[in-house]
Amino acid sequence: MKKRDVETTGHEWDGIEELNNPLPRWWLWVFYATIVWGIGYTIAYPAWPGIRSATAGVMGWSTRANIAEDIAAATAANAEITARLAETPLTEIAADPVLDGFARNSGGAVFRTWCAQCHGSGAAGAKGYPNLLDDEWLWGGSIEAIHESIQHGIRNDQSDMARYSEMPAFGEILEDDEIDQVVNYVMSLSGEPREADLVAAGGDVFADNCSACHGAAGEGDQSLGAPNLSNAVWLYGGDYETIRHTVEYSRYGVMPAWQDRLSDAEIAAVATYVHGLGGGE
């Protein structure tokens, strides 16, 4: 059989010859073209590293500028609905599905940026920081009340309209055994079985010292931010030691006012979000 004569490179090792199967010429051109393209690319775009930064490239392209553009575009695209959110009365937001969806989603973003540090990314709160998922509200759980708490904050110096109340430190007012009695009484309010004598005595202490704010049956008062003591939710904890600490030394939870830090629309959005977490009234 006549074999096609294949050129060899002339290399031979132990009788094994290296055949020369040349690449097509255009393949080489493609290689050169990629080099030219690569050089052009490094001129057009940021490429060569320097001491402090890289060459900027003649196209003026940068990822930071891109993000700024994207943010500006998103803000512009949302301008209309953002304005609508700021103007719409809070109680009417829920009636508009589009506005409600926008408020919940953008409010969630605001929450995770500004509120999650204390209240947690899932809004479950922590000791001293209220859980926003349940139906217990210190200052009210209607959307207006939530909005006001966010706008002006609680016990801060930033807003004149900040919600304010202060529980006395009863360690300086009551005797030790009176404190023991009232703690037992408070625990009994939420159904905890306690010693009957202590509870009975504590009831008197409570009526004299606590009921003005926390109510005759410990039901609390949202206008004063006085917690309901007769339910299952505890801000600092429902065990004896914690309640005793609260009675003796008081508590003074602070929340900043957001009126100067967030826009009206952002506050409305985050209020809608918090109201919609499952416990809103």
- Pick out the residues of the known binding site: 115, 118-119, 167, 210, 213-214, 255
- Collapsing DSSP to helix, strand or coil, 18 comes out as strand
- Collapsing DSSP to helix, strand or coil, 240 comes out as helix
Instruction: Please say which residue, 103 or 262, places its beta carbon nearer to another protein.
Output: 103
Name the residue among 275, 270, 243, 276 with its Cα closest to residue 258: 270
Annotated binding site for heme c: 115, 118-119, 167, 210, 213-214, 255
Instruction: Please say which residue, 7 or 176, places its beta carbon nearer to another protein.
Output: 7
The residues facing 19 across adjacent strands are 8
Tokens standing for 248?
């003796």
Q: How far is the CB of 182 from another protein (least distance, A)?
A: 21
User: Locate tokens 């009695």: which residue?
Assistant: 181
Footprint of another protein (CB under 8 A): 1-4, 7-14, 20, 22-28, 120-122, 124, 131, 133-136, 228, 231-233, 276, 278-279
Helix axes 97-110, 264-275, angle to 10 degrees: 100
For 53: left if phi > 0, alpha if psi spans -120 to 50, otherwise beta; the answer is beta
- Collapsing DSSP to helix, strand or coil, 203 comes out as helix
Q: How far is the CB of 13 from another protein (least distance, A)?
A: 6
State the Cα–Cα distance between residues 275 and 143, nearest whole angstrom: 6
Q: How far is the CB of 113 from another protein (least distance, A)?
A: 16
